[in-house]
Amino acid sequence: MLAGVYEKTSDKNYLKAAIAEYESLLAKMPNNTHVATVLNNLAYLLAESDERLSEALGFAKRSLEMKPDSPGMLDTYAFVLLKNGNVTEAANILTAALQRFKQDGVPVPAEVLEHKGMIKEQLGEKQEARAAYEEALNVGGQSLSQKTKQRIERAVARLSP
C-alpha cells in the first residue's frame, strides 16, 4: 500500500516507509511462501527509486530463483538489470518474461511494456522503443498514474521524429 502511495505522490517518505516495511516482512518470514513476492517488490521499489541498486539486483535474483516461471519476477529482474547497466542481459530476460506472459495467456501489463521501451531505447532501437511506450500508454489507459503517464508520454515525444 505504501508503495502505491509513493507511485501516486512521489513522496520519498512513503518510499522509505515502504522499503522499511518490506525489509521488516523479510526479517519476520525468511522461509514463508510469500518471500519471493516480498523480495520482488522490494527489488522493484529500490530500482525504481535508483537506490541500493546492487542490493536490488540480489533481491530480484533471489525472488526469481524461487519462482523462475513468474513473468512478473522475470520483468523485475530485467528492470533491475537495466538499472544496473546490464542492458543486453536485461533484454534477454525481458524477452523471456514476454514469452511467459504469452504462454500463460496473460495480457502484458503497461509497466512491462514501459520496461521494454526503456531497454529498446538503451539499445538504440528507437522505433521499437517508441512502439513499446505507445503500447504501454494504450494498455495502461486510465489506470496509469499521472506520473507514469507523463513519464511515458515524454519518452514517446523524445523518440518521435
Q: Look at 44 and 25; give whichever has higher pLDDT.
A: 44
Percent of the chain beyond pLDDT 90?
Answer: 70
What gap in Å lies between CA 127 and CA 109, rounded to an integer?
Answer: 20
For residue 16, the model assigns a pLDDT of 75
For residue 7, the model assigns a pLDDT of 46
HSE, side-chain direction, 13 A CA sphere, residue 13: 1
For residue 10, the model assigns a pLDDT of 56
Residue bearing cell 511506450: 133
Contact criterion met (CB below 8 Å) for 151 and 10:
no
Q: Look at 126 and 26; give whichever has higher pLDDT.
A: 126
Quote the cell numbers at residue 154: 515524454
Q: Could you tell me the pTM of the whole model?
A: 0.84
In order of 54, 56, 126, 151, the CA distances from 133 in angstroms are: 26, 24, 10, 10
Least trusted range by pLDDT, from 27-31, 62-66, 103-107, 118-122: 27-31
Q: Averaged over 93-119, what is the pLDDT?
A: 98
Range(s) of the chain covered by CATH 1.25.40.10? 11-102
Q: Averaged over 88-107, what is the pLDDT?
A: 98
- Looking at domain 11-102, its CATH architecture is Alpha Horseshoe (1.25)
Residue 142 has pLDDT above 80, yes or no: yes
For residue 158, the model assigns a pLDDT of 96
